[in-house]
Amino acid sequence: MGGNLAEPITKEQHAFQKELIEQSAFTVAWLGGTDMNSEGNWTWADCQRPFTITYWGNGEPNNGADDEDCLVSSGGSWNDLSCSTELQCVCEKNVCMKTWATAGYIYFKVFLRLC
C-alpha cells in the first residue's frame, strides 16, 4: 500500500485517527510507536522521534509480562501491547499535490493487516 503505521504527532492528528477508528468496524488499532530500542523511551517507529504529546490510558504504559513494546489506540487512549498481537492498523501516507509541490499532506486510513 506504500504507507506506514500512523504517527499522530499533533493533537489534530490524534483526534482524526481516534475518529477514524471509531467510524470503522474496529475498536483497537496499531499506531507507529515503540519502545523496542530502549524500554520506557517511546519513539515513533518511522522517524525515531520521541513522543512530544501522549494519550496513555490509566496505568499505561505498563510493559505487561515484559513484552509490550508496541503502541495501540483504544477509544482514543494509548496502550502498550505485545508486537505479535494481531490487530488492524491505522496507516498514514504522505501525499504531495502536483500543484503544491512543496506542501506535504498526511492521509490516514484504517487497514485490517498491512499498510
Burial 2-36 (b: 16+ CB within 10 A, else e): ebbbbbbbeeebbebbbebbeeeebeebbbbbbbe
Which pLDDT score is estimated for 98? 44
SS3 call for 19: helix
Q: Which domain holds residue 72?
A: 4-111
Q: What pLDDT does 97 receive? A: 44
- For residue 106, the model assigns a pLDDT of 55
Q: What is the CATH number of the domain that holds 92?
A: 3.10.100.10
Question: What does the pLDDT look like over 23-43, one tens digit per residue?
Answer: 888 899 999 999 999 999 999
Domain count, the chain: 1
φ and ψ at residue 98, rounded to 5 degrees: -60, -35
Please list the ranges in the chain whose pLDDT falls under 70: 1, 95-115
What's the pLDDT at 70? 98
Q: Grid coordinates in use for 63?
A: 510493559
Q: What is the pLDDT at residue 26?
A: 87
According to the model, what pLDDT value does residue 103 have?
34
pLDDT value, residue 3: 80
Inter-residue contact 33 to 45 (CB < 8 Å)? yes
